Amino acid sequence: MERAIILAASAIGAGLAMIAGIGPGIGEGYAVGKACEAIGRQPECKGSVTSTMLLGCAVAETTGIYGFIVALLLMFVTPNMFIGKL
């Protein structure tokens, strides 16, 4: 019974951690859209807008990666730690 509760809690926590991927997706899409607008208005600044956009997207993506790592830890590492102590 306790094993099932630990596995269920880990699965629910991993699912909630994956919700962290929604924010970076929305933010990066918005940033790319605005970068396209800026390049459309001033094509001569394409290089600086593109490099700034890529740096911002890389920083924003770290949130999604952290959520993914937490989900993996909850699915594969945490249950084994607690089930071994039962």
What would the pLDDT profile of 45-70 be if each residue is shown by its tens digit?
999 999 999 999 999 899 899 999 99
Handedness of CA 54, 56, 60, 65 (dihedral sign): positive
Other beta carbons within 10 Å of 71: 21
**Is-above-0.85 flag for pTM?**
no
Residues 6+ apart with CB under 8 A from 11: 74, 75
